[in-house]
A and B are shown apart, each in its own frame.
Chain A
Amino acid sequence: MRVTLFVPCFIDSLYPNVGMSMVHILERLGHSVDFPEEQTCCGQPPFNSGYWEEARSVAVKQIEVFKNAEVVISGSGSCGAMFKVFYPELFHGHSAEAEAKALSAKTWEFSEFLVNKLGVTDLGARFEGRATFHDGCHGLRELGTKQAPRELLSHVKGLELVEMSEAETCCGFGGTFAVKYPQISTAMAEVKCNSICETKADYVISNDSSCLMQIGGWLNRNVGSVKCLHLAEVLASR
């Protein structure tokens, strides 16, 4: 299958390894991976801030970029949800509505794509360590992703997965919220990270890098010993 990657702006510039891990995994499975260089950002920051006109002008470009893609895979539940859930709403009653819906229909979050589209759960990965999984809110509640990443991780040799009590609690990132209300955002990160630490895990894994930026940001400042990894990075290791 020809798989088109959507690598959101912050993964592109801050977490290139996440994107490359996805590339390796998909290529090993025999798919050809395509990355249209014209893509930039899904437009979520202005969208979430209420500036829908500005968001639309960015979004319309992405719709164009992915027009000919067969499937679009996102390594961020949040940006994936933007394509899948919010584009149809953003373009409701606008000229690009049909195209927005088409993009929505062919967009997949990475773990859902592997498990529910390709039917793959064992990637032959090996990763030594004790880890806990953080459910990013957009992936969990907008896209309904809960089991797929766990299914994939359960086949990783050497990995011990322990659930934390607050797995489904928001990490407090929330895009611009994290900088507009830093105190609240940080208090939320603290709750999340305390729950992570309670599991005595060496790693916290998530399918959303934006959450990991928040969780990692707090852990590195306050704890230091727990490392953050994107699901794809774990699944790509051998």
Chain B
Amino acid sequence: MSTIADLPRQQFQSDANRTANDAPRRAAVRRALSNYQTARDRTGATFTDWKSARASAATIKHEAVNHLDRYLEEFEQKFTARGGKVFWATDSKQARDYILNLAKEKGVRSIVKSKAMTGEEIHLNEALIKEGYAVVESDLGEYIQQLKGEPPYHFVFPCMHLRRDEISDLFHRELGTAKTDSPEELTMIARNVLRRAYVDADMGISGGNFIVADTGMISITENEGNARLTVGLPKIHVALIGIEKVVPCLADLALFLPMLATAGTGQHLTGYNSMYGGPRQPGEIDGPEEFHVVFLDNHRTRLLADPEQRDALHCIRCGACLNVCPIFKNIGGHTYGTTYQGPIGSVITPHFRGLEDWKHLSGASSLCGACTETCPVGIDIHHHLLHNRRNAAAQKPAAGEQLLWKAFSFLMKRPALYRLATKFAPLGGLLHPLVEGTAMDPVASWTATREFPAAPQGSFRERFRAHKAAKAELVKKGGVQ
């Protein structure tokens, strides 16, 4: 990540320039994702009808998101009836403070965490570590990123950009273990550290994949069994979940669990799917004594207030839109500088963190629509990028750019002028003086890496005119046609 650049846009530009030129890393990311694509195609084909599954999923999420208040309260009622506690956090500070206070009050010393992007979103680890708590990430990928001191590269595959030898070197450096090329051995190294962490921890923190309203349960999906231990072993558990994760009823998971697995990793079902309904009940032999659910708003209600883009709250964070995105594949996850990378991140980050600072992400897209095509819950992702661009231009037009488009439309509204102008200069040449030497100069920017098409002999309209004239001549001479 860049050190000179301070603004998100500058950081993005300079990181994108660097990563788009990093051929080996791009190749590694593509390789990793091509395996995903094969698995996903195979599993997706086992759905009788993916299209209608998608439509049903969208309908269910639409219902849930449009009645968030009702479903979240239903959850709260059921969950608290079993002794669970629910805290509604308006923003990241409230969520952090609640967890920090709880840890302090209960005399917590060490914490084990399973994967939670909401934790990244509110910078929870940093806050806990600053207060002196030992925090260990228990998901293997997250653990590797924690050791490396880097945020996740991809919100489903946190260390997908790393090669095995890089992980081995990292373990060697940080843990003093012998170098190895075997994935099993690498997993065992991490497992040894992590097993100790579960036993030591007096608090577990997790995210949650679904909030099930009618049973008052949260559903967690994972492949390593680490979330089960994170929830099951420590005395206190906190699940930090975005309010949009709700589904109306348990039966909905019959659709969402296989769908999340298929879209997310190409599996039929993820390895472990667990439901948690609160703290340990009388007579039960395991589970935490205290179970807290922190509902995180953190500007999700801003999206909720926008009818055009509200469907972005349908997101089940499967990561599929990243996996098919040609931009993501070429610039990688860290370049975005956001908690949520890829197309969906580019849509929602401006709502969460401000349009002015994050509009560039919506601009950095060819609008190819691969994301929208793949999204299991039918979010209109790439059109929302267009909407963000429109909203950004309306909110604060870029002076130079607005002038350019005004000139452009002035010309294009006047066919005679357009004809006259294009007769003497190719189209690009016309508006060129407006942007020459600026970042928007299309000529320099194009020709640095690509050839420009050779100028043809005469425009289409000239040739069409000649063609029509020749035909008319033929008719006059009594020829056919």
Contact = CB atoms under 8 A, between A and B. Distances in A.
A40 B415 contact: yes
Nearest to A209: B453
B1 interface: no
Interface string A165-184: 00011101111111111111
A48 B389 contact: yes
Interface in A67-90: none
Interface string B100-135: 000000000000000000000000000000000000
A43 interface: yes
Nearest to B393: A50
B412 A61 contact: yes
B369 interface: yes
A52 B459 CA distance: 28
Interface residues of A, number: 69
A35 interface: yes
- Would you call the interface of chain B mostly helix, strand, loop, or mixed? helix
A36 to B, nearest CB: 9
Contact of A17 (B402, B456, B467): B456
Contact of A183 (B20, B390, B412): B20
Contacts of B386: 47-48, 50
Nearest to A220: B451
Interface string B353-375: 00000000001111111101100
Contact of B451 (A11, A16, A217): A217
Contacts of A50: 386, 388-394
Interface stretch (A99-107, A122-130, A185-193, A197-205): A185-193
B413 A57 contact: yes
B330 interface: yes
Contacts of A13: 422, 426-427, 456, 459-460
Interface stretch (B46-54, B279-287, B313-321, B440-448): B440-448
B366 A172 contact: yes
A216 B419 CA distance: 26
B461 A35 contact: yes
A93 B366 CA distance: 27
A206 interface: no
Given A43-B409, A182-B448, A170 B442 contact: no
Contact of B459 (A12, A58, A138, A172): A12
Given A13-B427, A137-B367, A179 B440 contact: yes
A138 B369 CA distance: 8
B20 A184 contact: yes
Contact of A55 (B17, B364, B409): B409
Contact of A179 (B365, B369, B442, B463): B442
B422 A182 contact: no
A49 interface: yes
A134 B390 CA distance: 29
Contacts of A142: 369
Contacts of B366: 137, 170, 172-175, 177-178, 185, 188
A170 B382 CA distance: 13
A174 B464 contact: no
B459 A217 contact: no
B227 interface: no
B327 interface: yes
A213 interface: yes
Given A16-B463, A51-B402, A217-B452, A183 B21 contact: yes
A117 interface: no
A37 B419 contact: yes
Contacts of B388: 50
Contacts of A19: 460, 463-464
B450 A61 contact: no
Contacts of A38: 415
B366 to A, nearest CB: 3
B225 interface: no
A37 B418 CA distance: 11
Given A35-B461, A37-B419, A213-B453, A20 B467 contact: yes
B446 A182 contact: yes
A93 to B, nearest CB: 12
B451 A216 contact: yes
B373 A141 contact: yes
A20 B390 contact: no
A32 B367 CA distance: 35
A221 to B, nearest CB: 5
Nearest to A166: B326
Most A Cβ at <10 Å: residue of B365, B409, B458: B409
Contacts of B408: 45-46, 54, 58
B406 interface: yes
B401 interface: yes
A220 to B, nearest CB: 4
B413 A189 contact: no
A48 B385 CA distance: 9
Nearest to A60: B413
Contact of B326 (A18, A55, A170, A213): A170
B390 to A, nearest CB: 5
B192 interface: no
Contact of B450 (A20, A180, A218): A218
Contact of A169 (B326, B453, B464): B326
Contacts of B30: 191
B187 interface: no
A214 interface: yes
Contacts of A37: 415, 419, 461
Interface string B414-452: 010011001000110000000000011110011011111
B460 A11 contact: yes
A218 B446 CA distance: 10
B217 to A, nearest CB: 37
Nearest to A173: B366
Given A16-B458, A58-B412, A137-B369, A184 B327 contact: yes
Interface string B313-344: 00000000000001101110000000000000
Contacts of A182: 445-446, 448-449
11 contacts: A13-B456, A20-B463, A37-B461, A49-B389, A49-B405, A52-B394, A137-B366, A140-B369, A180-B440, A217-B450, A221-B449
Report the 6 A-B pairs with minimum CB-CB distance, sorted nearest first.
A174-B366, A217-B450, A50-B389, A50-B393, A170-B368, A141-B369
Given A50-B392, A55-B409, 9 more contacts: A12-B459, A19-B463, A40-B418, A41-B412, A50-B393, A182-B445, A188-B327, A191-B30, A220-B450
